[in-house]
Amino acid sequence: MTEAATTTLDRAAVEAVDPSGQAEDILGMPEHLRDALWRVESAGLEPHDAPGGLVVAGMGGSAIGGALARSALGDRATRPIAVSRSYELPGWTTADTMVLCASYSGDTEETLACYEAAGAVGALRTVVTTGGRLAELAREDGVPVIPLPGGFHPRAAVGYLTVAALDVAALCGAGDSVRAEVDVTADHVERLVAEWGPDGPEDSLPKSLARGLSDTVPQIAGVGLTSAVAYRWKCQINENSKLPAFAHELPELDHNEIVGWSGAPDLARFSAVFLDDADLHPRARQRIELTRALIEPAAASTFVVQTQGESATERLLSLVLLGDLVSLYLAVLRGVDPGPVEAIERLKEELARE
Ligand code: F6R
C-alpha cells in the first residue's frame, strides 16, 4: 500500500500543514456566496445597459470568477461575455461594452492596464477589489466599486468574484439575474462542505481523489459547463498543492492531446480527471467514456467525477468546491503548506523593479 493510501486527511492532519487557514477559506464558500450577494446589493450599483456585452478583465484567482459566471449563465447569456487575462481588452470593446475590472489586491498591472484601456475607449466600467491602486483610480473617476473583504489569498475569494461577475452581467443586460439560484447554491454547497471537509469520512470523494492523484501529474478535462472548472482545478493544484497540472477540454482534446498520451509513460506518471455533467451534449458524454478507455493504459490513474445539484450554478460550484478540496488534500499528502505562492510574488516583485 502506498503512503498516500494510509495517510489520514482529518482536521489535525490539515491543520499541521495549513498555518494560514486555507482549509477554512475553502470551506467558507457557502458564507462567501451569501456575503457576496449582500455586498453587491449594498454597493448600490445602477443598471447600465451595455449592448456590446461584458468583458471581465483580471488575472489568475481574480479572473476565474468571470469565467465561472460565464459558464453558470451558459445559454442564458443574452450578450457576449468575455474574460480578458492580459494587458489588453478585446478589439471589439467600445463605449457600449461593460468592463468589470477584477483584482483582489487592486494592484495587478495587467488589470490596471485594462482599466485604463476601458477608460480610453469610453467603456462602462465597474471594479471589484479590496483596495489598492484600482480602488484609488475608481474613486477618482467615480467608477462604482464592489468591495471585497480583505485577508484572503485572491484564489480563495472565488465565491465573491463569481457572484460579482454574475451580478454585473445581469445589471448590464448580458444575462438573467441568478441571485435566487446563488442563494440556493449556498445551502447546497454547505451540505457538500460537511460531507467533503476534513471532518467528513476518510473515504469521501475529495479525499479518495487526492489519494488517487498523489504522485502523478494531473490532466483535468472539462466540457461545456465544466471547462472553466477544469482550469480552476489546474490552478488550485498548481498553487495549493505546488504541483504541475494541466487542463484541457473535450471535444477538442480528442483531436490532439489524446495522441500525446501514448508517450506519457516514458516521461512521468500522468493521471486524468474528467469533469462530467448530466446536462452535457449526449455525444460529449460518450466521448468521456471512450477517451478514458483509450488513455487508460498510459495513465497512472483515471477518474470521472460528476457535478452535483440541480441548477447550473449549483452544479458548477459543487465541482469548484471538490477541486479546491482535492488540491488541499494533495497538499496535506505532500506535507506542503497550501498558502504561500512565493513564485508569483517573486515574479511580481521583479517586474516592479524593472
Ligand atoms: C493568488 C492567486 C493569483 C492572483 C493573481 C492576480 O492566490 O490566485 O493568481 O489572483 O496574481 O492578483 P490579484 O487577484 O490580486 O489581481
Report the pLDDT value the prediction gives residue 7, as an integer from 0 to 100.
Answer: 85
* Pairwise CA distance, residues 115 & 120, whole Å: 9
Residue with CA nearest ligand 1 atom 16: 103
Q: Find the radius of gyration of the CA atoms of the chain.
A: 20
What is the CB-side half-sphere exposure of residue 157 using CA atoms within 13 A?
25
Site to substitute for ligand 1 among 104, 146, 234, most atoms within 8 A of C-beta: 104
Extract the C-alpha cell encoding 207. Answer: 479525499
The single-letter DSSP state of residue 62 is: G
Task: Report whether residue 103 contacts ligand 1, using a CB cutoff of 6 Å.
Answer: yes
Extract the C-alpha cell encoding 172. Answer: 448590464
Look at strands 217-222 and 124-129 and give their pairing. unpaired
Separation of CA 157 and ligand 1 centre (Å): 10
Enumerate the β-bridge partners of residue 54: 81, 98
Task: Report whether residue 240 contacts ligand 1, using a CB cutoff of 6 Å.
Answer: no
Report the pLDDT value the prediction gives residue 4, as an integer from 0 to 100.
Answer: 79
- Predicted TM-score of the model (pTM): 0.97
Q: Which helix or strand (DSSP H or E) is residue 248 part of?
A: strand 246-249
Site to substitute for ligand 1 among 344, 346, 348, most atoms within 8 A of C-beta: 344
pLDDT in tens, the chain (354 residues): 677 777 899 999 999 999 999 999 999 999 999 999 999 999 999 999 999 999 999 999 999 999 999 999 999 999 999 999 999 999 999 999 999 999 999 999 999 999 999 999 999 999 999 999 999 999 999 999 999 999 999 999 999 999 999 999 999 999 999 999 999 999 999 999 999 999 999 999 999 999 999 999 999 999 999 999 999 999 999 999 999 999 999 999 999 999 999 999 999 999 999 999 999 999 999 999 999 999 999 999 999 999 999 999 999 999 999 999 999 999 999 999 999 999 999 999 999 998
CA 63 to chain centre: 8
Task: Report whether residue 239 contacts ligand 1, using a CB cutoff of 6 Å.
Answer: yes
Report the pLDDT value the prediction gives residue 12, as an integer from 0 to 100.
Answer: 97
* Pairwise CA distance, residues 271 & 290, whole Å: 16
Task: Report whether residue 93 contacts ligand 1, using a CB cutoff of 6 Å.
Answer: no
Task: Report whether residue 155 contacts ligand 1, using a CB cutoff of 6 Å.
Answer: yes
Residue with CA nearest ligand 1 atom 15: 105
Question: Do residues 146 and 163 touch, judged by C-beta distance below 8 A?
Answer: no
Separation of CA 296 and ligand 1 centre (Å): 34
Site to substitute for ligand 1 among 22, 87, 105, most atoms within 8 A of C-beta: 105
Report the pLDDT value the prediction gives residue 1, as an integer from 0 to 100.
Answer: 60
Separation of CA 98 and ligand 1 centre (Å): 22
Angle at 230 between CA 275 and CA 293, to 5 degrees: 45
Residue 95, φ and ψ in degrees, nearest 5: -65, -15
Q: Catalytic residue numbers?
A: 239, 255, 348
Cell 466521448 belongs to residue: 287
Nearest-atom index, ligand 1, CA of 154: 7
Report the pLDDT value the prediction gives residue 5, as an integer from 0 to 100.
Answer: 74
